[in-house]
């Protein structure tokens, strides 16, 4: 039986791979992104054969009205939403560095995209999940929520908040048959990390800090999300799980 999966940041990187993974399995996807042109490209290049399985929604996940509209669009198309994958996220611009150097507006922007969006999306989707007695929420956090990234105070704080928000969801809604998991990727090859990984010296320095000595892929993230959203992961609830080639182990 196919499920309905709501994916944010679906137009590129991890989000695109996550959407593709569920579509290939026969699930239905509500693909949400602020980049409408990007969604259009994905529709033309990646999702042509899945036109009856996917609904596209352009919107800003930091805005309550946009979030509510996207949830409503998914319900209108497919009847309900079974799985939330809160993937949209940003690291912040070059000014989002140490605490005293980060502009307040940029700190607020990072927190809005990375944390407020999850709050808004869950707030909109949970009443139906509670009524139905089932639902899965997979929040894409980061190993930065487990160990601090130097010079990335806002990002580190936001991902720590994602982990704690995930635990709060479990504490409050597990009794309603709802699971929440925070997946914490390490360095993954995506458009967001391209500027670093395209520099050979910087790439090598990153690899040298990972015990497994390799960079992860967006497909790795998608496979993990697919597993944690499925029945085989039924007893994972409130967990924050690192997938980082061993980075946080040393």
Stretch (H or E) spanning 185: strand 178-185
Q: Is the pLDDT of residue 177 over 90?
A: yes
Which band of pLDDT confidence, cut at 50, 70 and 90, is reported for residue 147? very high
Contact 135, 83 (CB under 8 A): yes
**Is pLDDT larger for residue 36 or for residue 190?**
36
Q: What is the pLDDT of residue 236?
A: 98
Q: What is the pLDDT of residue 198?
A: 86
Q: What is the pLDDT of residue 228?
A: 98
Q: What are the start-end ranges of the H helices in the chain? A: 13-24, 36-45, 64-78, 104-111, 117-132, 153-173, 194-197, 200-208, 218-228
pTM value surpassing 0.85: yes
Q: Is the pLDDT of residue 170 over 90?
A: yes
Separation in Å, CA 240 to CA 16, 61, 96, 106, 180: 22, 22, 25, 26, 9
Which band of pLDDT confidence, cut at 50, 70 and 90, is reported for residue 163? very high
What are 29's strand-pairing partners? 5, 54
Q: What is the pLDDT of residue 215?
A: 94
Work out the end-to-end distance of the chain between its first and last CA atoms, rounded to an integer number of angstroms.
42
| Range scoring the smallest mean pLDDT among 94-103, 199-208, 228-237 | 199-208
Q: What is the pLDDT of residue 133?
A: 98
Which band of pLDDT confidence, cut at 50, 70 and 90, is reported for residue 196? confident
Query: Which CATH superfamily hosts domain 4-249?
Result: NAD(P)-binding Rossmann-like Domain (3.40.50.720)
- Which residues are annotated as catalytic? 155
Q: What is the pLDDT of residue 98?
A: 98
The Cα angle at residue 181 between residues 88 and 238, in degrees rounded to 5:
135
Average pLDDT of the segment spanning 40-69 = 98
Tens of pLDDT, residues 64-116? 999 999 999 999 999 999 999 999 999 999 999 999 999 999 999 999 999 99
38 token code pair: 């990007």
Contact 87, 15 (CB under 8 A): yes
**Integer Cα distance of 64 and 43 in angstroms:** 25
Task: Classify strands 28-33 and 54-58 as parallel, antiparallel or unpaired.
Answer: parallel
What are 241's strand-pairing partners? 183
Q: What is the pLDDT of residue 192?
A: 82
Q: What is the pLDDT of residue 157?
A: 98
Separation in Å, CA 85 to CA 196, 209, 242: 26, 29, 16
Q: What is the pLDDT of residue 195?
A: 77
């Amino acid at each position: 039986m196919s499920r309905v999966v709501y994916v944010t940041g679906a137009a590129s990187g991890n989000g695109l791979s996550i959407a593709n993974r569920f579509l290939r399995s026969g699930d239905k996807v509500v693909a949400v992104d602020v980049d409408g042109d990007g969604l259009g490209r994905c529709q033309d290049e990646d999702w042509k054969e899945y036109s009856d399985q996917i609904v596209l929604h352009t919107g800003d996940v930091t805005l309550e009205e946009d979030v509510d509209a996207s949830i409503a669009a998914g319900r209108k198309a497919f009847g309900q939403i079974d799985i939330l994958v809160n993937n949209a996220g940003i690291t912040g611009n070059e000014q989002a560095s140490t605490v005293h150097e980060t502009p307040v507006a940029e700190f607020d922007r990072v927190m809005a995209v990375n944390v407020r969006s999850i709050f808004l999306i869950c707030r909109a989707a949970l009443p139906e999940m509670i009524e139905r007695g089932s639902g899965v929420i997979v929040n894409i956090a980061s190993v930065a929520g487990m160990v601090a990234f130097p010079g990335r105070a806002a990002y580190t704080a936001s991902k720590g908040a994602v982990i704690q928000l995930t635990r709060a969801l479990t504490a409050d809604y597990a009794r309603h048959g709802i699971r929440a998991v925070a997946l914490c990727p390490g360095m993954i090859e995506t458009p967001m990390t391209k500027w670093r990984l395209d520099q050979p010296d910087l790439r090598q320095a990153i690899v040298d800090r990972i015990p497994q000595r390799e960079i992860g892929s967006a497909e790795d993230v998608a496979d993990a999300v697919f597993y944690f959203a499925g029945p085989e992961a039924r007893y994972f609830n409130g967990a924050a799980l690192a997938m980082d080639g061993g980075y946080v182990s040393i």
